[in-house]
Structure formats: structure tokens, C-alpha cells
Amino acid sequence: MARVKTRATLLLEIEEATKRLKAYDKAEAERIGNLALKAGLASISIPEEVLVRALEELAARFQAEYPAVAEPKTKGRRSAGPAQAGADGQAE
């Protein structure tokens, strides 16, 4: 059985995927931060530990209510059909 990809190619793919993941995480952090600002969390004087616990409880609540989106999918292709307008977070 012939090898399709070299080790160097696989390492490059991992590096590129890591960069994409970091960019995704940064964009999501900015989006959630903006939502927190809209909700008025920036003007509340509260210890960080308390706020983190409250956000963890909120995440657990929504993961329980919407189990299909509790964890990101790790397998499969994204192109399961056309995405809704604006689903990629970019302006049209």
C-alpha cells in the first residue's frame, strides 16, 4: 500500500489546522465578549471566579437543553448542505 502523504505534509496540515482553530477561538471569544458587553457584564463589579462559575452554569444549562450542540462535531464534512446566510460570521 503506497503512502499518500508524507510526514512533513501531515505536520504542515496539523500546523494549518491549529492556526485555523486559534483564529476560530479568537473570533468566538470576541463574539461572546461583545455579547457580554451588550448584557452589561462589563459594568458589574464581581470577582472573576464568581463570573466564571456563573458562565459555566449557563453553559451547562444550554448544553442540557440543546444536547445536539453541546460539543462541536469532530468528524464529518461541513458541507452537509448550503449554510444559512451569515452562518460563517462574515458580512455579505
The pTM score is: 0.59
Q: Residue 82: is its pLDDT beyond 60?
A: no
Domain ranges of the chain: 7-39, 44-70
Q: Name the strand (E) or helix (H) holding 11.
A: helix 7-38
pLDDT digit string, tens, across residues 13-60: 999 999 999 999 999 999 999 999 999 998 999 999 999 999 999 999
Q: Residue 74: is its pLDDT beyond 70?
A: no
Cell of 8: 512533513
Amino acid identity at 69: V
Q: Name the strand (E) or helix (H) holding 59.
A: helix 48-65
Cell of 90: 462574515
- 73 or 29, greater pLDDT: 29
pLDDT band at 1 (very low <50, low <70, confident <90, very high): low
Instruction: Name the nearest CA neighbour of 62 among 87, 40, 32, 30.
Output: 32
Instruction: Name the nearest CA neighbour of 39 among 61, 22, 54.
Output: 54
